[in-house]
Structure 1
Amino acid sequence: MTRPEVWLKRALPHGLLGRSLLIIVMPLVVLQLVSTYVFYASHWETVSRRLAKGLAGDIATVIEATRAFPDAESRRTILSIAAAKMELDARFIPGGILANQPPPPLSGVLDRAMEDAMAEQVQRPYRMDAESLEREVVIRVQLSDGLLEIYAPKKRLFSSTTYVFILWMLGTAMLLFGIATVFMRNQVRSVRKLAVAADRFGKGLDVLAFKPEGATEVRQAAQAFNLMRERIQRQIQQRTEMLAGVSHDLRTPLTRMKLQLAMLGAVEGRAELEEDVAEMERMIEGYLAFARGEGTETPVETDLPGLVEDVVGRFRRQGAAIDLHSEGELTMPLRPVAISRVLANLLGNAVRHGRAPEGHVWVRVGRRQNAAELLIDDDGPGIPPVRRDEVFRPFTRLDSAAAGGVGLGLTIARDIVRAHGGEIKLEDSPLGGLRVRLRLPL
């Protein structure tokens, strides 16, 4: 991608409302520019030339009348008639001479129109001053016996339709833009509600009173989301009920086996059988927890640093060396039992695989932009980068894993975190071991 394309991509709005308004505004701006060009190129230029020609014609009439009646009394009469009927305040300066300096450059349509009109109608040297006075234009014409100084109203050269046209054009454009903004905001609001509902459902939160609204396409998407949510919730409920029955059916024969082992007395191989039964119980608990996914717990506002401190305290009481650093209060909607299980699993792995006997675990929790972040570092052997994705697969146990477990701990932990809308990543730790980075969106 070239640099102009990158700059253009950054400059354009990223939201649906901004882009929709841009789609509306761009044709409107183009229409305004075309209309303005047509107006200035034809209408305003034509009107300016006609006004300049009319003023120049009146000046030429006054000059010719004074030439036809050169006496002083007749000249005063002609100038008074010009003031009364032509709105020209004309003054004759006997022996007056125009300043000996080059004429100013033509700066606009009006100057060019006046230049052409004076050359056609008057055909005498002149100077025009439209800046000195607020409401009048001063035109000085060189005559053979003096200088004719004329004060004409600016309205005789400037058409008010120019400003009226611009005001109407801008006013209607702003009105249409405001109406479009109101309508587009209402349409975008329904899309935002759908996005919020999908985000809450993805984090495992309740989506209450979500009503499809907006355009037909948005309503269809909202109805499809509601149907999807109902199917997922129904599937989770059915799976939970089924697993509850499976749990009861599997626990019953295990209980009978435990009673039979207790009644056997001291026989050879009893300890091994009891260990196998206990292992089967742990496996069943792991399978059920994996399938259940802790999806039935209701999210509540939870102090995450306090929850981490409680879990760390349990490990410290068991003799684990854990350094905890919290960056203050951080309250967010969580399933506290499920998150406690995640923390216990991650801390248990870090303590178990840390460097013995002086191995330590470092825990950091705090806010990072729009997410809560938890870092767990150990000084153990770590996990090779090529196998870090593998450990999240169900029933996977690395060679360095301690005895016990069925390889579902990290799988269950990641499922719980993803149900909250977060993610777990494994990285290299600055301490030489493994770093677990857990992020939960706020």
Structure 2
Amino acid sequence: MFCIKAYGHIFRLHYNHYKNSRIMKYFKLKKYLPRSFFGRTLLIIILPIIVLEAIVGFAFIQRYFEQVTNQLAKSTVLQMNYVLDRYENTNSDAKEFFLKEMEKKFDIKLTIVPEKSNIDFFQKHPYDFSGITLIKILKNDVPSIEHIDLKSNGVVTIFTSLPNKSYFKFEIERERFTASNPHQLLVLMVLLTIILGFLLLMVLRNQIKPIKTLASVAEAFGKGQSVSYKPTGSIEIRKAGSAFLEMRKRLERQIEQRTQMLSGVSHDLRTPLTRLKLALALKEDDIETKEMLKDILVMQNILDEFLEFSKNQKTEKVKEISLIDLYEFLKNNNKNLKETLIWQLSSKNHERKVHLRPNNLLRALSNLIENAVFYGSQIKISVIEKKTRLLIHIEDDGPGIPPEKVKDAVKPFVRLDNSRNLNKPHGVGLGLSIASDLIKIHGGNLNLKKSQDLGGLKASLTLPL
């Protein structure tokens, strides 16, 4: 029974996640959402507050102003109806005097006009919400009303028809119908929302800062830099930071053990190899001795590759260097292949600074160039600056690598078939692996594919800027 409930709960979670993803995809909301954790958290907190304040504020304001407008308008409508009734019952000789008397008594401007100025029943601004209630009251309570104008600044103009086909024009101040300061509550709500948002912004920044610090330390470790870090923030973030530190210690210990093992084995094997080499040198120079010396040279080459692979590649410090200086540094260190290599630089800003380990990058590039020179006769090297990354392409016209073997080519101790062995002759399959490791500690990648220009292999180095 417990298992059935557990599976049912898991099914509901998956179904809700699937349904929410379908809704997001249907309305195409995902591309409009903030991409950072800080932005999304701020949106989750601020958006409900704004929506709630808008709904409550609109409902409250609508009801409040409807009641205030209703009370004020009813009082003014009584005065208007009083004026209309008295005017119709006043003698024609005394009507002008009557209008002046009513103007002073009720503070209303009264005019008799032969025709109304507009054929529409009412005129108002779209944002004038209290005007809706006012128009409804005037239409129901004022007899013979013909036109209402709410667009005049601070004045409401009302036309009513008279029996002699003329019109009674009322000009009344707007504040006698509606509240005089309807914007104060809105300003207060907006001000409180801004203050609350500012406080939330400061709190969220302090909460997000430990996450950003942990991310930057993890990114630096991926590039081969061991940055000092102390977990801070909430309990969950502290646990994640402590777990990262433990993981980093274990990885560093494993790397150190691997390095010591490979280095120790290589050094220990050098001594007997040297003795064998000396012993063979003292023997007669015959065919068998030459073959044995060749085998010893092969073994020595293998040990050299083991030592290079076991070197701690993090020892070189990161340096700041301009693109043009980096280009010249790489080019000058391959002068012995000047006639074979074709160099190209594509950069908008030659003085743009990059942070990397020049010697490690040179070693990786040298491995790739040596492989290209061994299997090809024409090699092109392109250095291309992009907005956020630096691309270095090494292309040759050799036999290339079959697509199904590209992933295996960068694995350590993997040797391809004789059609294209990308490592040094008699090697153990560490050439590309060393190059790939050196590029990864810069936070970059090594990709192998077919060259469209030369037809051979194209090794692409991608480095972040």
**Unaligned ranges ≥5, structure 2:** 1-21
Measured in 1, the distance between the counterparts of 2:328 and 2:225 equals 21
Over 3 Å counting, the alpha-carbon distance change for 1:367 and 1:33 in structure 2 is same
Q: Tell me the residue number matched to 2:428.
A: 406
Q: Is 1:171 aligned to residue 191 of structure 2?
A: yes
**Unaligned ranges ≥5, structure 1:** none
Measured in 2, the distance between the counterparts of 1:336 and 1:117 equals 83
Q: Is 1:89 aligned to residue 112 of structure 2?
A: no
1:386-406 Cα shifts (integer Å, max 9, x gaps): 122222233332213374222
1:282-320 Cα shifts (integer Å, max 9, x gaps): 11121232244634333333543133213321334xxx6
Q: Is 1:324 aligned to residue 343 of structure 2?
A: yes
* C-alpha contact 1:53 1:117 (8 A) present in aligned 2: yes
Over 3 Å counting, the alpha-carbon distance change for 1:330 and 1:30 in structure 2 is closer
Q: Is 1:33 aligned to residue 41 of structure 2?
A: no
* C-alpha contact 1:325 1:365 (8 A) present in aligned 2: yes
How far residue 141 of structure 1 moved from its aligned partner, in angstroms, is 4.0
Residue identity opposite 1:135 in structure 2:
G
Q: Tell me the residue number matched to 2:12.
A: none
Q: Tell me the residue number matched to 1:436.
A: 459
Q: Is 1:104 aligned to residue 121 of structure 2?
A: yes
Q: Tell me the residue number matched to 2:33.
A: 12
Using the size of structure 2 for normalisation, the TM-score is: 0.81
* C-alpha contact 1:258 1:277 (8 A) present in aligned 2: yes
Q: Tell me the residue number matched to 1:309.
A: 331
Q: Is 1:43 aligned to residue 60 of structure 2?
A: no
Using the size of structure 1 for normalisation, the TM-score is: 0.84
* C-alpha contact 2:446 2:460 (8 A) present in aligned 1: yes
* C-alpha contact 1:350 1:361 (8 A) present in aligned 2: yes
Measured in 1, the distance between the counterparts of 2:231 and 2:426 equals 50
Measured in 2, the distance between the counterparts of 1:387 and 1:4 equals 38
How far residue 424 of structure 1 moved from its aligned partner, in angstroms, is 1.1
How far residue 385 of structure 1 moved from its aligned partner, in angstroms, is 1.1
Over 3 Å counting, the alpha-carbon distance change for 1:2 and 1:311 in structure 2 is farther
SS in 1 for 2:428: coil
Q: Tell me the residue number matched to 2:14.
A: none
Q: Tell me the residue number matched to 2:397.
A: 379
59-68 or 73-82, larger mean C-alpha shift: 73-82
Instruction: Decide which of 256, 267, 270 is 1:237's aligned counterpart.
Output: 256
Measured in 2, the distance between the counterparts of 1:423 and 1:111 equals 67
Spell out the pairing of 1:74-85 with structure 2 (5 A cutoff).
Answer: 76=97, 80=101, 83=104
* C-alpha contact 2:259 2:312 (8 A) present in aligned 1: no
How far residue 118 of structure 1 moved from its aligned partner, in angstroms, is 4.1
Q: Tell me the residue number matched to 1:261.
A: 280
Over 3 Å counting, the alpha-carbon distance change for 1:56 and 1:366 in structure 2 is same
Q: Tell me the residue number matched to 2:76.
A: 55
Measured in 1, the distance between the counterparts of 2:440 and 2:181 equals 65
* C-alpha contact 2:225 2:314 (8 A) present in aligned 1: no
Measured in 1, the distance between the counterparts of 2:36 and 2:174 equals 49
Instruction: Decide which of 201, 216, 227 is 2:221's aligned counterpart.
Output: 201
* C-alpha contact 2:375 2:398 (8 A) present in aligned 1: yes
1:36-61 Cα shifts (integer Å, max 9, x gaps): 44135422223222222111012223
Spell out the pairing of 1:202-351 with structure 2 (5 A cutoff).
Answer: 202-208=222-228, 210-266=229-285, 269-292=288-311, 294-302=313-321, 303-316=325-338, 321-327=340-346, 328=350, 331-351=353-373
Over 3 Å counting, the alpha-carbon distance change for 1:148 and 1:285 in structure 2 is same
SS in 2 for 1:269: helix
1:243-269 Cα shifts (integer Å, max 9, x gaps): 443333222222222232233344562
1:345-401 Cα shifts (integer Å, max 9, x gaps): 1111111111xxxx2111111312312211111111211111222222333322133
How far residue 427 of structure 1 moved from its aligned partner, in angstroms, is 1.3
Spell out the pairing of 1:174-185 with structure 2 (5 A cutoff).
Answer: 174-185=194-205
Paired residues in the alignment total 429
Measured in 2, the distance between the counterparts of 1:123 and 1:31 equals 41
Measured in 2, the distance between the counterparts of 1:101 and 1:435 equals 80
Measured in 2, the distance between the counterparts of 1:115 and 1:421 equals 69
Measured in 2, the distance between the counterparts of 1:101 and 1:349 equals 90
SS in 2 for 1:213: coil
